[in-house]
Every structure is written in structure tokens, then in C-alpha cells.
Amino acid sequence: MTDLTGKTTLITGASRGIGAETARVFAAAGANVALLARSAEQIADLAGEIGPKAVAIPCDISRYWEVEQAVANCVKAFGGLDVLVNNAGVIEPIACLNEVDPEGWGQVIDINLKGVFHGIHAALPVMQRQGGGTILTISSGAAHNPIEGWAHYCASKAGAAMLTRCLHTEMAGKGIRAMGLSPGTVATQMQREIKASGINRVSKLDWSDHIPADWPARALLWMCGPEADGHLGEELSLRDEAIRQKVGLA
């Protein structure tokens, strides 16, 4: 397991699902973890579960000033920032383009795309002062394939995937390691929302078809180590058996 003793990780969307599991996995690997989410009570409970290596920072990532302040609070708590995990994402409202609420559609873009940019922009100055860092962003197969009722999600994930590529192009020579992770379908609350929508093929999947949330968490940890350096600037997919074997997943 990658050793992150003495390193600090900031995780967005840390209140549940992949974000919460990532916090647990990274803390177990020795990292300090700053937990960001709008759900203050949930991240406070998770920080209490993890212990002194965790701090809960309520934050709406769609607002840049809140993200900037959250990064400052992380640095104040732990002295620096080594890893940013851009995990926060939403998919509601699920609806076709001719029926969807425009305001709700825009909020998904604000969180899934602008939120990723906000995290990158706020973290980079800290990482550059330290001489480098790792920025990992949760992507999706939806970034590359249109899915009925998910135009906002597909568009936002496609944009976030391109942000990773742009970040690598601009900052790889300045010590910034940038990668994306496409986990496939994961057994989280988002899948319950998708199931309830009844729209498109993904909503028809059985719960047993989804991977557990600790799989992408373990993959993200592996991506922080030198073994993943051959994938810098890329999007790794947990549907790829070769990647699963590298990470050590069944």
C-alpha cells in the first residue's frame, strides 16, 4: 500500500460514497485528510470516526471563495497540501434536454465542472510553493459516451476530463501530477438516484453490478505513488483489468 505518512490530502464530496471511503483509505495509509462537503454534520461525524488525522471543512465547491478558504483552512490545520481529490459530483435532475429544469441543469455544471476548476485553481499555489503535488479527478464513462437524460452529467464530466489533460499539459513540468479515474458504476447513493429515475440503461442495472466504493478509493491511493507515474495526464479506468491488477483489486 502506498505510504502517505506526513502527507495531506483534501477530498471534495467527502460526506459519503467514494469520498468518504477515500478519506478512510488515505488516513489508514498515514495521510492527514481534509474533508470537504456541503453536509457539515456528515463530514464532522466522519472526522470523528477517523480521529486527529481528519478535519471537517464545510464547503460548497461551486463557490470559488469557499474553496479558496477551505484550502487555507487545510493548510492551517496540517501545514500544507500534497494531494487534491476532486471527487464531488451530482447527477440530479435526471431528465432529457427538452424537459430538464435549466437552473438544476446549470447547478450540475457548477458543481461537477466549475467545482473541479475551483479546486485546481485554489490548490495549485500551495502545491507550487511546496515544489509539487498530485491532483486526481473522478471522471466517468459518461465523459466519452452520451447517455439519455444525463446531458449535464456527460458534458460536465467531459469538461472535467479535459481539465485534467490541460493541467498535465501546463503543469507536468512544474511538479504537478495530474490524472483522472473512471471507476465505472459504484454502489453509492448516486446509483440509487439513477435507479429511481428509470431513464436509460444504467438505471436498469442490478445493485450487484456495481463495484464497492473502496475500490476507487484504493485506486486513488495507488495513483499517488510512483507506480502510477507512467499514467500521468491520463484517465485510468477500473473497467480495465490491467489497471485493476496494478491496483491490487480482485
pLDDT digit of tens for each residue in the chain (250 aa)? 799 999 999 999 999 999 999 999 999 999 999 999 999 999 999 999 999 999 999 999 999 999 999 999 999 999 999 999 999 999 999 999 999 999 999 999 999 999 999 999 999 999 999 999 999 999 999 999 999 999 999 999 999 999 999 999 999 999 999 999 999 888 888 889 999 998 888 888 888 888 788 999 999 999 999 999 999 999 999 999 999 999 999 7
The angle that helices 214-223 and 17-28 make with each other, rounded to 10 degrees, is 50
Provide the pLDDT for residue 138: 97
Enumerate the active-site residues: 153
The angle that helices 102-109 and 151-171 make with each other, rounded to 10 degrees, is 20
Nearest CA to 70 among 41, 35, 46, 43? 35
Tell me the three state secondary structure of residue 164: helix
Beta strands in 38-171 (DSSP E): 54-58, 83-86, 133-138
Residue 85 identity (one-letter amino acid): V
Provide the pLDDT for residue 185: 83
C-alpha cell belonging to residue 30: 498515514
Q: Which domains does the chain have, with CATH numbers?
A: 8-247 (3.40.50.720)
Q: Judge whether 62 and 38 are in contact, CB under 8 Å.
A: no
Give Cβ neighbours of residue 58 (< 8 Å, ≥ 6 apart).
Answer: 36, 37, 38, 39, 40, 43
